[in-house]
């Protein structure tokens, strides 16, 4: 059954109800008590996001200082429920201007009730697109399109747009200057063994789009992916252009993309929502260009001393540079004293995360930097167990670099009025979970 | 832009309700709106504002949509408790359902469907009929869902008024969202009905598949889920369907992807062409992997489903094992599931890499995760013969680290490896024996003892080793005692020298005379008899060659797997249990009981959170396949079925068996407390009852006097539980010769009396015409038992042990006969006394129950009786033994039926 929820609760960390909405009659109104006593106040919290208590099942997620709890009594669609929560939070954020926490909920509780009534009916998710909902669920009650004057008609055919085939874009948009911004954001995930061999490595990328386009434009996006290029060559019956092409492991698209067409023609064509949205996500495991190599050597000298030596090499183009590079090198809990020398950036010992934190604001390409440190430990007599070494973690951003090698080849905009569009493309690669065991 | 609604929460002064009442009736619109917001705020934090019903409903007729929505929200919450007043709202609803604005029309129908009051439902039909044919798709899509709501309240009405036909017409609607909602509604109605209502023909199928392209993401989920019931006629049709569904795999919404995967997997069963199947597997793998970059909660759902999928189609992710490697910061529930899948995907090709990972995990911080990682190494050894040696060497390396729980876990798995590959790796026994002293966990101890017994002839000092355990025999857990018994017998049979001979005497004596554990005793007697009658036969039985084990832990049986795969993305696929195990389904719209029917084995967590732990463990349903790998040495019955058989023959089935029991609340008979003769013609009957976790005082007022009575009010004197009325008494004007019945919601711990507990409840009732009437009522303790009083067996035992014996009170009821155990269990469960376990003691049945008073005071109850014969002994243990007299009164009434 695609039912996603019988009731939804928003609780603060103490377990007080901030908002609750019962959609179905099959769960009692006091089920939240069961959640509090059996999950929140026990060690259970955080061990499993789906739990059964009595005849009811609970799905919960924590977002900032709020628990969102869904209660069901039937064989509900869990995937649907969690996705609904994620989308609903995104929707609330877009209404509250970004923040989603206890205060934001209390300050907007009337609005949230109104939205909850609209986005789910009898446990079935309805349209959650902020673009459309903002047409008729406005922030200020007084600006409600249904004010007292009968002449004051609601936004024309709001209801048609909610239910329409293009349920994410409203009609009649006009911009003086038609612009599209494309951001290609990649995060590189790496797990490297202490010996320097890559255990797993992949790139998850997303293409974020910001559209300021008039009317109902049709867009077509071309990337340098192998399958797309081959298909194109096949359709135009000419050999594929030589040049670097990459192989995408998987792609997922925003609901505006015509999937059937993608499946048959391998082209990404869509009518975009207005404003900012995530057009697509992709994943690549082959041929990843790792921006950094990390070479750690950690030696335990006797029981009370550790020698740490970490060399970081940037392997992207010499003209580029990375920003906000942070290397976290774990040290044992009983660390007493640390001494370092670094060739660039600054390092310090952070006791709350038991790590040496080495920060380099700007890291040029094709260079290397080293940290060497000596760590003294409080000598313990009883502790015989060796220190379990967590991995070294790294954060960074490299603008104008894609670890996958993905490039946008073209973005075509077609609208019946035939205006010209300006397109902007940016690339950036960030660290996802970039871990090196040591 | 953020508003400042939080101010509405801040008024918590005394006299809040009257103040709100005044504001609600204010002549200023803004003030009224603010007041409604305050009411909603109070409702949100759990205050009872039902007494403001009429005042709030009066604000309903407004042009302000925001205010209207708030009033509707209030109505959804309180209409059920004020059914008579709810009727006031009907006119506005009906009017709104004809409003020129489609949003208001839809709002009216949507809200009316949420109000489960019969009188309102009657008025819903006409507006619903209109809205199903509305010009505006927004109204139609709302009306479609409303039919499902109405069906839930009154199925007959839906069928009589032909709403099902209208709903079926909507499948051909030109608006995709209307189609999707109509499909969802029909699928739900079908699910709760045994008759065919929504049959998917190939024509509907193709229409819906076309609609898929235009639906919202959620609509696609509704349609895919509904279509997954469709059985294709042949391979060709199946291929066609799959072809049209595969593009959905590229959707950004994980629910769409999983529903598409479900549909494809189901159709694949029909497809015969291996090429097509291979191709589909190739297509499904990347989207499944992509799900692992979603939020951790979604990853968890995906992993539980992937676990199922790789059991059916092992090739699908055979090359993707790396994506299941745990990240250091993954939440523990994600790590545990990843580990499980890694074991499933481990093969000769990737085992080296996998072992390196497991070894890495075995040094992490989280103890449960470390244990599971060690166990995983053992399971790989059992699964992959060629890798067994490498696995063992990794285990030995881990043992050398000498982290206690790692060593113990390693010994447990090594025992399994010995069973899988007999006479291969015994050379390492010496290393294992070095860790003997550090073992303190029963399972590890039992495993080690099993190893010693099994290989007694190869261990020179086997008798010494076993002897060291024997000293503490009486204190050992049952699991270890059983192993010691068997190991000593094996030792004796293999080395029938003097030492073992003495040992066997000691053990048999301990295990027959000194013990209370029937399993141990039975096994000891059987060994004893075998040894004394025919030692050769004993050898044949005890030292029989054991069947080779395989790693089938967490492997589901094919028919269950089929059922779970048909439920991908749902709870069933996460719990790995078929839906009917955890869903209390009510077919058609028969009366819904909100019982908290506890489902057997409802504890779910990680894949093997409930390993069978020894013979006392209850059958855990279909959750785990018989854990022959882990359970075998601990319980010889699965090694050689013989003792088990004997056990049955001797009729000594002492194991504790949980029994499922439904709870059905029964209507309370009321006691006359104020007879008409004393009350100048007013007769009051009442009874304290509990419904859905709330205590009510059910009252019946009968006016036999000559005057009209009105203005009824009620008050309670201080009492043991501090019972007080939660709201004003709602009794209408009583004409002579009429009567009124009311349910007064009660709160506890309001005006508590001091002194010893008493079941006395003193009540005062007054009205405008008569003097104040005082009367006494007696309540039964069970109305205070809370719905969450059910204890796990383990916590029951713990609590029982943790309470001092002085807290145990017992009483005999010589006259009471329990005719049927089931009926009694049912009756007690209805009063929130939850059945925990049952055992037989001679000819007597002993039942254990738990219940809980508010503020979490547990009551542990033991009932001893011979079914069908008079005489019940009731013993209770509780932190509040002073309550026991009240308890006995209550149980006596309950048992008398």
User: Do B813 and B867 share a domain, yes or no?
Assistant: yes
- What mean pLDDT is predicted for residues B417-442? 88
Task: Report whether A40 contacts A67 (CB < 8 A).
Answer: yes
Task: Report whether A185 contacts A428 (CB < 8 A).
Answer: yes
Q: In angstroms, rounded to a whole number, what is the distance separating the alpha carbons of residues A182 and A426?
A: 6
Q: Which of B1, B2, B246, B285 to mutate to test the interface with A (most CBs of A within 10 A)?
A: B2
State residue B621's pLDDT score: 37
Give yes or no for B759 touching A (CB within 8 A): no
3-class secondary structure, B130 = helix
Q: pLDDT per residue over B552-593, tens digit each?
A: 766 889 999 999 999 999 999 999 999 988 887 554 433 334
Q: C-alpha A400: how far from its chain's center?
A: 20
Q: Which of B180, B255, B300, B397 to mutate to test the interface with A (most CBs of A within 10 A)?
A: B255
State residue A240's pLDDT score: 57
| pLDDT reading at B802 higher than 80 | no
State residue A436's pLDDT score: 93
Tell me the chain A residues in contact with residue B148 when contact means C-beta distances shorter than 8 Å. Answer: 122
Tell me the chain A residues in contact with residue B595 when contact means C-beta distances shorter than 8 Å. Answer: 55
**CATH assignment of the domain containing B834:** 3.30.310.10
State residue B897's pLDDT score: 63
Phi, psi angles (nearest 5°) of residue A301: -100, 100
Phi, psi angles (nearest 5°) of residue B126: -65, -50
B602 assigned to some structural domain:
no
Task: Report whether B478 contacts B617 (CB < 8 A).
Answer: no
| pLDDT reading at B219 higher than 90 | yes
| B217-234: b (≥16 Cβ within 10 Å) or e | bbbbbbbbbbbbebebee
Q: In angstroms, rounded to a whole number, what is the distance separating the alpha carbons of residues B639 and B628?
A: 9
- What mean pLDDT is predicted for residues B443-460? 91
How far does A102 lie from chain B, in Å, by closest CA?
10
Tell me the chain A residues in contact with residue B254 when contact means C-beta distances shorter than 8 Å. Answer: 79, 82-83
Eight-state DSSP code of residue B570? B
Q: In angstroms, rounded to a whole number, what is the distance separating the alpha carbons of residues B211 and B171?
A: 10
User: Do B57 and B199 share a domain, yes or no?
Assistant: yes
User: Do B691 and B677 share a domain, yes or no?
Assistant: yes
Q: Two tokens at A289?
A: 């260009």
Nearest beta carbon to residue A50 from set B40, B574, B597: B574
User: Do B722 and B836 share a domain, yes or no?
Assistant: no
3-class secondary structure, B658 = coil
Q: In angstroms, rounded to a whole number, what is the distance separating the alpha carbons of residues B548 and A95?
A: 63
Q: Please give the angle made by the CA atoms of B485, B491 and B494, to the nearest 5 degrees.
A: 140
B464-468: Cβ within 8 A, 24+ apart:
B465/B433, B465/B436, B466/B491, B466/B503, B467/B499, B467/B503, B468/B436
Q: In angstroms, rounded to a whole number, what is the distance separating the alpha carbons of residues B770 and B764?
A: 12
B715 assigned to some structural domain:
yes
Q: In angstroms, rounded to a whole number, what is the distance separating the alpha carbons of residues B307 and B337?
A: 8
- Print pLDDT tens along chain A (438 aa): 668 899 999 999 999 999 999 999 888 777 888 898 888 888 888 889 999 988 899 999 999 999 999 999 999 999 999 999 999 999 999 998 888 999 999 999 999 999 999 999 999 999 998 888 888 887 554 333 443 333 334 455 677 777 776 778 888 889 999 999 999 999 999 999 888 889 889 999 999 999 999 999 999 999 998 888 888 888 777 665 656 788 888 999 998 998 888 888 888 999 999 988 999 999 999 889 999 999 999 888 887 889 999 999 999 999 999 999 999 999 988 888 999 899 999 999 999 998 999 999 999 999 999 999 999 988 765 555 567 788 999 999 999 999 999 999 999 999 999 899 999 999 999 999 999 998
Phi, psi angles (nearest 5°) of residue B650: -80, 0
User: Do B811 and B847 share a domain, yes or no?
Assistant: yes
Q: In angstroms, rounded to a whole number, what is the distance separating the alpha carbons of residues B550 and B628?
A: 8
3-class secondary structure, B393 = helix
Give yes or no for A63 touching B (CB within 8 A): no
Nearest CA in chain A to B104: A146
Give yes or no for B66 touching A (CB within 8 A): yes
Task: Report whether B192 contacts B162 (CB < 8 A).
Answer: no
State residue B617's pLDDT score: 38
B822 assigned to some structural domain:
yes
How far does B495 lie from chain A, in Å, by closest CA?
40
Nearest beta carbon to residue A163 from set B137, B148, B694: B137
pLDDT confidence bin for B798, thresholds 50/70/90: confident
B806 assigned to some structural domain:
yes
Q: In angstroms, rounded to a whole number, what is the distance separating the alpha carbons of residues B342 and B373?
A: 10
Lowest mean pLDDT among A148-157, B39-48, B65-74: A148-157
- Helix B332-345 / helix B296-312 crossing angle, nearest 10 deg: 20
Task: Report whether A58 contacts A76 (CB < 8 A).
Answer: no
Note whether A159 contacts B136, CB cutoff 8 Å. Answer: yes
Last residue of a domain, which of B154, B178, B211? B211
**CB interface of B with A, residues 808-847, below 8 Å:** none
The most distant pair of C-alpha atoms in chain B lies apart, rounded to whole Å, by 103
Better-predicted residue by pLDDT, B718 or B625: B718
3-state SS of B422-465 is CCCCHHHHHHHHHCHHHCCCHHHHHHHHHHHHHCCCCCCCHHHH
Neighbours of A142 (CB within 10 A): 9
Q: C-alpha B130: how far from its chain's center?
A: 41
State residue B771's pLDDT score: 80
User: Do B712 and B839 share a domain, yes or no?
Assistant: no
User: Do B122 and B17 share a domain, yes or no?
Assistant: yes
Give yes or no for A116 touching B (CB within 8 A): no
In sequence order, what DSSP letters do the residues of A250-271 get, joined into one string?
EEEE-TTB-HHHHHHH--EEE-
Q: pLDDT per residue over B531-555, tens digit each?
A: 888 888 888 888 888 888 887 766 8
Q: Two tokens at B7?
A: 């101010």
Better-predicted residue by pLDDT, B791 or A423: A423
Q: In angstroms, rounded to a whole number, what is the distance separating the alpha carbons of residues A153 and A163?
A: 19
Q: In angstroms, rounded to a whole number, what is the distance separating the alpha carbons of residues A277 and B252?
A: 12
Task: Report whether A401 contacts A428 (CB < 8 A).
Answer: yes
State residue B886's pLDDT score: 83
CA distances in angstroms from B514 to A61, B506, B521, listed in the order given:
52, 11, 9
| pLDDT reading at B379 higher than 60 | yes
User: Do B741 and B859 share a domain, yes or no?
Assistant: no
Note whether B218 contacts A125, CB cutoff 8 Å. Answer: yes
Nearest CA in chain B to A144: B65
| pLDDT reading at B294 higher than 90 | yes
State residue A382's pLDDT score: 56
- What mean pLDDT is predicted for residues B795-817? 81
Task: Report whether A305 contacts A376 (CB < 8 A).
Answer: yes
Nearest beta carbon to residue A263 from set B246, B287, B573: B246
**CB interface of A with B, residues 187-226, below 8 Å:** 189, 191, 193, 199-200, 202, 204
Note whether A159 contacts B582, CB cutoff 8 Å. Answer: no
Note the pTM of the prediction, 2 decimals: 0.74
pLDDT confidence bin for B15, thresholds 50/70/90: low
Tell me the chain A residues in contact with residue B322 when contact means C-beta distances shorter than 8 Å. Answer: 199-200
B490 assigned to some structural domain:
no
Give yes or no for A14 touching B (CB within 8 A): no
The residue segments making up the domain with residue B886 are: 785-896
Give whichever of A37-41, A222-226, B482-486, B774-778 has the largest mean pLDDT: B482-486
Task: Report whether B121 contacts B154 (CB < 8 A).
Answer: yes
Note whether B571 contacts A78, CB cutoff 8 Å. Answer: yes
**CATH assignment of the domain containing B744:** 2.60.40.1150
Q: In angstroms, rounded to a whole number, what is the distance separating the alpha carbons of residues B44 and B531?
A: 72
pLDDT confidence bin for B11, thresholds 50/70/90: low
State residue A385's pLDDT score: 56
State residue B130's pLDDT score: 94
User: Do B74 and B176 share a domain, yes or no?
Assistant: yes
- What mean pLDDT is predicted for residues B844-860? 83
B642 assigned to some structural domain:
no
Phi, psi angles (nearest 5°) of residue A101: -155, -175
H/E segment holding residue B268: helix B254-268
Q: Which of B4, B6, B216 to mutate to test the interface with A (most CBs of A within 10 A)?
A: B216
User: Do B760 and B806 share a domain, yes or no?
Assistant: no
Last residue of a domain, which of B762, B779, B796? B779
Neighbours of B533 (CB within 10 A): 9
Note whether B66 contacts A96, CB cutoff 8 Å. Answer: no
CA distances in angstroms from A8 to A11, B571, B850, listed in the order given:
10, 16, 30
Nearest CA in chain B to A282: B290
Better-predicted residue by pLDDT, B736 or B126: B126
Q: In angstroms, rounded to a whole number, what is the distance separating the alpha carbons of residues B704 and B701?
A: 10
Could you give the number of structural domains in chain B?
3
Closest CA to B518 of B468, B478, B549: B478
Tell me the chain A residues in contact with residue B251 when contact means C-beta distances shorter than 8 Å. Answer: 252-253, 255, 259
Last residue of a domain, which of B162, B182, B211? B211
User: Do B771 and B789 share a domain, yes or no?
Assistant: no
| A234-261: b (≥16 Cβ within 10 Å) or e | eeeeeeeeeeebbebbbbbbbbbbbbeb
State residue B655's pLDDT score: 38
Nearest CA in chain A to B111: A117
User: Do B793 and B760 share a domain, yes or no?
Assistant: no
pLDDT confidence bin for B774, thresholds 50/70/90: confident
Neighbours of B870 (CB within 10 A): 12
**CATH assignment of the domain containing B192:** 1.25.10.10
pLDDT confidence bin for B258, thresholds 50/70/90: very high
Lowest mean pLDDT among A155-169, B17-31, B374-388, B809-823: A155-169
Strand order in the sheet with B773-778: B713-716, B760-766, B773-778
Task: Report whether B167 contacts B182 (CB < 8 A).
Answer: yes
Q: Which residues contact B556 (CB under 8 A, 6 or more apart)?
A: B308, B311, B564, B576, B622, B625
**CB interface of B with A, residues 687-726, below 8 Å:** 692-694
Q: Which domains does chain A have, with CATH numbers?
A: 7-128 (3.30.450.60), 179-287 (2.60.40.1170), 292-399 (2.60.40.1170)
State residue B669's pLDDT score: 65
Note whether B247 contacts A259, CB cutoff 8 Å. Answer: yes
The partner residues of B846 in beta bridges, in order of sequence, read: B839, B864
State residue B776's pLDDT score: 84
Q: C-alpha A53: how far from its chain's center?
A: 31
Q: In angstroms, rounded to a whole number, what is the distance separating the alpha carbons of residues A35 and A58?
A: 8
Give yes or no for A379 touching B (CB within 8 A): no
ipTM attached to this prediction: 0.86
CA distances in angstroms from A365 to A332, A362, A399, listed in the order given:
32, 10, 11
Average pLDDT value for chain B: 83
Q: Two tokens at B590?
A: 């028969």
Nearest CA in chain B to A388: B363
State residue B517's pLDDT score: 87
B232-239: Cβ within 8 A, 24+ apart:
B232/B267, B232/B270, B233/B202, B234/B270, B235/B270, B235/B271, B235/B272, B235/B273, B237/B202, B237/B270, B238/B267, B238/B268, B238/B270, B238/B271, B239/B267, B239/B271, B239/B273, B239/B276
B872 assigned to some structural domain:
yes
Nearest beta carbon to residue A199 from set B175, B222, B325: B325
Q: In angstroms, rounded to a whole number, what is the distance separating the alpha carbons of residues A35 and A52?
A: 10
Tokens 């029991």, residue? Answer: B661
State residue A30's pLDDT score: 77
B765 assigned to some structural domain:
yes
In sequence order, what DSSP letters do the residues of B46-106 get, joined into one string?
T---GGGHHHHHHT-S-S-HHHHHHHHHHHHHHTTT-HHHHGGGHHHHHHHTT-SSHHHHH
Q: Two tokens at A270?
A: 């869509």
């Amino acid at each position: 059954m695609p039912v996603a929820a019988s009731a939804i609760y928003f609780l603060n960390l103490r377990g007080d109800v901030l908002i609750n909405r019962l959609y179905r009659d099959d769960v009692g109104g006091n089920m939240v008590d069961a959640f509090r006593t059996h999950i929140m106040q026990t060690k259970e919290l955080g061990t499993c996001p789906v739990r059964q208590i009595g005849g009811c099942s609970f799905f919960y997620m924590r977002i900032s200082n709020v628990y969102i709890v869904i209660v069901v009594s039937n064989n509900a669609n869990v995937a649907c429920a969690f996705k609904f929560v994620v989308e609903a939070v995104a929707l609330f954020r877009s209404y509250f201007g970004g923040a989603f926490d206890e205060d934001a909920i209390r300050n907007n509780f009337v609005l949230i009730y109104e939205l909850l009534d609209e986005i789910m009916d009898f446990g079935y998710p309805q349209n959650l697109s902020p673009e459309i909902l903002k047409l008729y669920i406005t922030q200020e009650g007084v600006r409600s399109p249904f004010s007292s004057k009968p002449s004051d008609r609601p936004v024309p055919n709001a209801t048609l747009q909610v239910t329409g085939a293009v349920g994410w874009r409203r009609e009649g948009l006009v911009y003086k200057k038609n612009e599209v911004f494309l951001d290609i954001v990649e995060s590189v995930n790496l797990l490297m063994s202490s010996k320097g061999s890559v255990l797993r490595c992949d790139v998850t990328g997303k293409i974020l789009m910001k559209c300021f386009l008039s009317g109902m434009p049709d867009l077509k996006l071309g990337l340098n992916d192998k399958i797309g290029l081959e298909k194109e060559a096949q359709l135009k019956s000419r050999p594929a252009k030589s040049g670097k092409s990459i192989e995408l492991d998987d792609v997922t698209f925003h609901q505006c993309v015509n999937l059937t067409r993608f499946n048959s023609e391998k082209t990404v064509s869509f009518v975009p929502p207005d404003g900012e949205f995530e057009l697509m996500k992709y994943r690549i495991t082959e041929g990843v260009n790792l921006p950094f190599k990390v070479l750690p050597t950690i030696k335990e000298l006797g029981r009370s001393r550790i020698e740490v030596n970490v060399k970081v090499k940037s392997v992207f183009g010499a003209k580029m540079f990375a920003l906000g590079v942070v290397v976290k090198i774990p040290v044992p809990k009983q660390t007493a004293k640390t001494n370092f020398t670094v060739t660039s950036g600054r390092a310090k010992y952070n006791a709350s995360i038991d790590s040496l934190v080495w920060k380099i604001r700007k890291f040029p390409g094709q260079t290397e930097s080293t940290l060497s440190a000596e760590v003294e430990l409080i000598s313990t007599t009883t502790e015989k167990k060796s220190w379990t070494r967590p991995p070294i973690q790294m954060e960074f951003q490299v603008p104008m670099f894609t670890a996958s090698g993905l490039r946008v080849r073209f973005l075509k905009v077609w609208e019946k009025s035939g205006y010209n569009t300006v397109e902007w493309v940016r690339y950036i690669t960030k660290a996802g979970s970039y871990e090196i065991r040591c | 832009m953020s508003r400042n609604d939080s101010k509405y929460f801040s008024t918590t002064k005394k006299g809040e309700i009257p103040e709100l009442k005044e504001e609600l009736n204010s002549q200023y619109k803004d003030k009224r709106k603010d007041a409604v917001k305050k009411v909603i705020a109070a409702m949100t934090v759990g205050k009872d504002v039902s007494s403001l019903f009429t005042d709030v409903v009066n604000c309903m007729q407004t042009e302000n949509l925001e205010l209207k929505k708030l009033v509707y929200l209030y109505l959804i919450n309180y209409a059920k408790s004020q059914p008579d007043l709810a009727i006031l709202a009907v006119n506005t609803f009906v009017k709104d359902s004809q409003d020129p604005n489609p949003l208001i029309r839809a709002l009216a129908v949507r809200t009316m469907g949420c109000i489960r009051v019969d009188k309102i439902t009657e008025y819903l039909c006409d507006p619903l009929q209109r809205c199903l044919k509305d010009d505006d798709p927004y109204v139609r899509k709302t009306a479609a869902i409303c039919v499902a709501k109405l069906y839930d309240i009154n199925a007959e009405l839906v069928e009589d008024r032909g709403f099902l036909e209208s709903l079926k017409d909507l499948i051909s609607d030109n608006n995709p969202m209307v189609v999707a909602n109509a499909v969802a509604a029909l699928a739900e109605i079908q699910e709760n009905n045994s008759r065919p209502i929504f049959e998917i023909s190939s024509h509907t199928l193709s229409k819906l598949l076309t609609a898929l392209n235009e639906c919202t993401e959620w609509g696609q989920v509704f349609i895919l889920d509904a279509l997954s019931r469709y059985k294709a006629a042949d391979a060709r049709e199946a291929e066609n369907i799959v072809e049209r569904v595969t593009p959905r795999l590229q959707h950004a919404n994980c629910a769409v992807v999983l529903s598409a995967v479900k549909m494809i997997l189901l159709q694949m069963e029909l497809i015969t062409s291996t090429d097509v199947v291979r191709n589909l597997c190739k297509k499904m793998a990347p989207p499944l992997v992509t799900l692992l970059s979603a939020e951790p909660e979604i990853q968890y759902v995906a992993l539980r489903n992937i676990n199922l999928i790789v059991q059916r189609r092992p090739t699908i992710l055979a090359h993707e094992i790396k994506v299941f490697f745990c990240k250091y910061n993954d939440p523990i529930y994600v790590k545990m599931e990843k580990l499980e899948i890694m074991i499933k995907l481990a093969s000769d090709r990737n085992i080296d890499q996998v072992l390196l990972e497991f070894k890495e995990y075995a040094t992490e911080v989280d103890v449960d995760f470390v244990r599971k990682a060690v166990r995983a190494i053992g399971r790989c050894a059992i699964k992959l013969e060629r890798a067994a040696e490498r696995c063992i060497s990794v285990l030995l390396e881990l043992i050398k680290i000498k982290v206690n729980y790692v060593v113990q876990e390693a010994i447990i798995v090594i025992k399994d490896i010995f069973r899988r590959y007999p006479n291969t790796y015994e050379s390492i026994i010496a290393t294992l024996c070095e860790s003997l002293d550090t073992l303190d966990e029963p399972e590890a101890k039992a495993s080690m003892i099993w190893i010693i017994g099994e290989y007694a002839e190869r261990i020179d000092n086997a008798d010494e080793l076993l002897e060291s355990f024997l000293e503490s025999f009486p204190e050992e857990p049952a699991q270890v005692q059983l192993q010691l018994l068997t190991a000593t017998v094996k030792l004796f049979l293999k080395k029938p020298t003097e030492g073992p001979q003495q040992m066997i005497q000691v053990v048999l004596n301990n295990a027959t005379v000194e013990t209370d554990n029937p399993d141990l005793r039975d096994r000891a007697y059987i060994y004893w008899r075998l040894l004394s009658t025919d030692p050769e036969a004993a050898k044949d039985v005890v030292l029989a060659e054991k069947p080779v084990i395989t790693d089938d832990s967490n492997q589901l049986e094919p028919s269950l797997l089929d059922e779970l795969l048909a439920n991908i993305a749902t709870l069933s696929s996460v719990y790995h249990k078929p839906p009917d195990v955890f869903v209390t389904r009510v077919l058609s719209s028969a009366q819904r009981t909100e019982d908290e029917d506890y489902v057997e084995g409802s504890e779910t967590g990680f894949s093997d959170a409930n390993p069978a732990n020894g013979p006392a463990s209850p059958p855990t349903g279909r959750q785990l396949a018989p854990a022959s790998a882990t359970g075998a040495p601990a319980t010889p019955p699965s090694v050689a079925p013989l003792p088990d058989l004997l056990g049955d023959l001797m009729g000594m089935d002492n194991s504790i068996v949980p029994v499922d029991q439904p709870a059905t609340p029964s209507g309370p008979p009321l006691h006359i407390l104020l007879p008409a003769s004393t009350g100048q013609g007013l007769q009051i009957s009442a009874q304290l009852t509990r419904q859905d976790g709330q205590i009510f005082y059910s009252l019946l007022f009968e006016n036999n006097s000559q005057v009209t009575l009105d203005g009824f009010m009620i008050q309670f004197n201080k009492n043991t539980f501090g019972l007080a009325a939660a709201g004003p008494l709602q009794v209408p004007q009583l004409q002579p010769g009429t009567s009124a019945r009311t349910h007064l919601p009660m709160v506890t711990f309001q005006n508590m009396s001091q002194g010893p507990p008493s079941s006395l409840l003193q009540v005062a009732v007054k009205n405008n015409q008569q003097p104040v009437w005082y009367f006494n009522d007696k309540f039964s303790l069970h109305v205070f038992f809370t719905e969450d009083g059910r204890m796990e067996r383990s916590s029951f035992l713990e609590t029982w042990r943790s309470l001092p014996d002085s807290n145990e009170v017992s009483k005999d009821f010589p006259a009471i006969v329990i005719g049927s155990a089931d009926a009694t269990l049912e009756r007690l469960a209805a009063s929130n006394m939850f059945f925990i376990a049952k055992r037989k003691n001679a000819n007597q049945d002993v039942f254990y129950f738990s219940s809980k008073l508010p503020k979490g005071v547990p009551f542990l109850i033991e009932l001893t009786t011979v079914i069908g014969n008079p005489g019940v002994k009731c013993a209770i243990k509780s932190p509040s033994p002073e309550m026991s007299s009240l308890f006995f009164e209550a149980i006596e009434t309950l048992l008398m039926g």
